A and B are shown apart, each in its own frame.
Chain A
């Protein structure tokens, strides 16, 4: 993956992770799995983990540990007020941006 593509994905990944957590709280690997279930196949585990940590450090997420009888204890992440606000704003920005981009790309495909 070259730099431009990773930069592009990074912006999208923030929104994707926020959206997944907006549905319900999740632990790291569960976020990865749910993103892949939604069709983001190429998303890397490290990218998701790094994004979770960054959003957490930025104060958009809260976290708590859920003990598990079998397997390791799981650290769950969830949106706090700031995270929900960011999700709302980013979702609006994404909708308008993707709408504009789709128009552009559609125009290009009609021409081609």
Chain B
């Protein structure tokens, strides 16, 4: 028998035995079956043949085990409820599953990542508490004193958190419980903060005009934020309606350049978004002034160009 088939044989036999004893109280199962796999592996290594051939059916083995172990605990002991037994047996099956073992082996390697995240989240929580939950940003603005403070605190918290994580696990049950509860609390409390977090960094108190909707229509690209129409003879035109080749209103994106636009409102209450030039202001309220333009000289009308009837 190869090492691999032997290991599989041990694993499946052990699973079956555990399933046969799944109705025992969980603590007794642990005490009794703690090193069952090791024991079965010893037997498997001693001679050839499957464990079923050498030990008999797993149910019988389980029953014998129960009888041998039950002298102290058996009859009077607290029996597991059917549901408890079912859950226990499911847990046992899960523990035997290959993918579960892979996941279990992998997850501990993520511990340092959690230590770092934990330090970051603690400072985030404190910041949210002291700034009454507003304007908490994923990365604090280092150019503001409060943001700089938050950054430094985050670094210190991460160092402390990692140091705590690197310490060997406390043996004391109460201490461990406090640790587990603390970690869980940090993770749970951080969820609403992360949810409400503003994701536009470094724009403190910027009145990003939520009132400026994005309009349907064809956008004039290339950094065009406004259009100034003139007549042939250089006179300024106002409220000129522009449309593209498909008849869609031609609109410009001035928000990207940090401008707010006041649109005229039509009789139907809808903003007219393609009337040019548009009245725009900077964020600080400064109105945008019309640029100087050079009107090209038109050719003087020639007799042949304007035939008279």
Q: Which residues from A are CB-within-8-Å of B73?
A: 54
Query: Given the interface contacts A57-B31, A57-B72, does A6 sit within 8 Å of B42 by beta carbon?
Result: no
Dominant secondary structure of chain B at its interface with chain A: helix
Q: Number of A residues contacting the other chain (C-beta, 8 Å)?
A: 24
Segment of A69-77, A80-88, A94-102, A103-111 in the binding face: A69-77
Name which residue of chain B comes closest to A54, CB basis.
B69
* Contact string against A for B residues 18-62, beta-carbon threshold 8 Å, 1 for contact and 0 otherwise: 000000000000011011101101110110000000010000111
Query: Nearest Cβ distance between residue A25 and chain B, in whole angstroms?
Result: 14
- Cβ 8 A contact of A46, one of B31, B34, B46, B61: B61
Q: Produce 1/0 per residue, A47-89, CB < 8 A to B.
A: 1111101100110000000000001111100000000000000
How far apart are the CA atoms of A57 and B68 in the complex, in Å?
A: 13
Whether A53 and B32, one on each chain, are in contact in the complex, defined by CB atoms closer than 8 angstroms, is yes
**B39 pairs with A49, CB closer than 8 A:** yes
Q: Number of A-B pairs whose CB atoms are under 8 Å?
A: 72
Do A75 and B68 touch (CB < 8 A)?
Answer: no
Chain B contacts for A48, CB-based, 8 A? 68
A6 near B39 (CB under 8 angstroms)? no
Out of B31, B68, B70, name the residue touching A13 (CB < 8 Å): B68
Contacts of B62 in A (CB 8 A): 46
**B66 an interface residue at 8 Å Cβ cutoff?**
yes
Contact with A along B61-96 (1 / 0, CB 8 A): 110111111111100000000000000000000000
Q: Are B43 and A50 in contact (CB under 8 A)?
A: no
Cα distance, A49 to B65, chains bound together (Å): 7
Q: How far apart are the CA atoms of A29 and B41 in the complex, in Å?
A: 10
Residues of A within 8 A of B35 (CB): 75
Query: Is A22 on the interface with B (CB-CB < 8 A)?
Result: no
The answer to whether A46 touches B68 (Cβ under 8 A) is yes
Cα of A49 to Cα of B21 in the assembled complex, Å: 14
Chain A nearest Cβ from B156, distance in angstroms: 42
* B43:A45 contact, CB within 8 angstroms: yes
A13 CA to B71 CA, complexed, in Å: 11
Task: Kindly provide the distance from the CB of A3 to the nearest chain B CB, expressed in whole angstroms.
Answer: 9
Assembly CA distance A71 to B46 (angstroms): 9
* A20-37 with Cβ < 8 A to chain B: 27-29
Q: Does A73 contact B67, Cβ atoms closer than 8 Å? A: no
With both chains docked as a complex, state the minimum distance between the C-beta of A32 and any C-beta of chain B, in angstroms: 8
- Chain B residues with CB below 8 A from A45, complex form: 43, 55, 61
User: In the complex, what distance in Å separates the CA atom of A58 from the CA atom of B45?
Assistant: 29
- The answer to whether A53 touches B55 (Cβ under 8 A) is no
Interface residues of B (CB under 8 A from A): 31-32, 34-36, 38-39, 41-43, 45-46, 55, 60-62, 64-73
Q: Top 4 closest A-B pairs, CB basis? A: A50-B68, A46-B64, A50-B69, A72-B41
Question: What residues make up the interface of A, taking CB atoms closer than 8 Å to B?
Answer: 6, 10, 13-14, 27-29, 44-51, 53-54, 57-58, 71-75
21 A–B contacts from the bound complex (CB under 8 Å): A10-B67, A10-B68, A28-B43, A45-B55, A46-B62, A46-B68, A47-B64, A47-B65, A49-B36, A49-B39, A50-B64, A53-B34, A54-B32, A54-B69, A54-B71, A54-B72, A71-B41, A72-B38, A73-B38, A74-B42, A75-B38
